[in-house]
Amino acid sequence: TFKLVVKVAEGNFVVKAAIPNNKPTILGKKIKQNYFMGDGYMELDLDVSSDTVAKKITGVAYSYAKNLTVDMALVLQGVDESELPEKIFAGIRFSKIDFSAYKDQEME
């Protein structure tokens, strides 16, 4: 099981109020997810539109994305003593993304 930890490093007070900093959220309880695995990779697809709260938070963050820097980490959930301390599985930083530069394209 994965936990998502989010920190708003830079951003509008509206976004900071909507996203609780450093509060782990267990994925899969409310958000639909799919795993894809192949030779040397694993992909985790999170459908934020499958949960009302996640969809609203994503919408707020999207609105302010040009002025936003967000750090996200996926943590492997420790279930018993042998799996502690928990460790970060993957991390990413999104910084000042201008979505207007991306246009919807039809898939061929």
* pLDDT at residue 105 tops 60: no
Work out the angle at residue 12's Cα, subtended by the Cα atoms of residues 4 and 27, and round it to the nearest 5 degrees: 15
Q: What is the pLDDT of residues 72-82, one digit of tens each?
A: 999 988 889 99
Helices (H) and strands (E) in the chain, counts: 2, 6
User: Region 5-19: what's the mean pLDDT?
Assistant: 90
Task: Quote the percentage of the chain above a pLDDT of 90.
Answer: 39
DSSP tag of 83: G
Lowest mean pLDDT among 24-28, 47-51, 102-106: 102-106
Tell me the sheet residues that pair with 5: 73
- Residue 107 has a pLDDT of 42
Sign, CA dihedral 66-73-19-30, equals positive
Residue 93: pLDDT band (50, 70, 90) is very high
Residue 40: pLDDT band (50, 70, 90) is very high
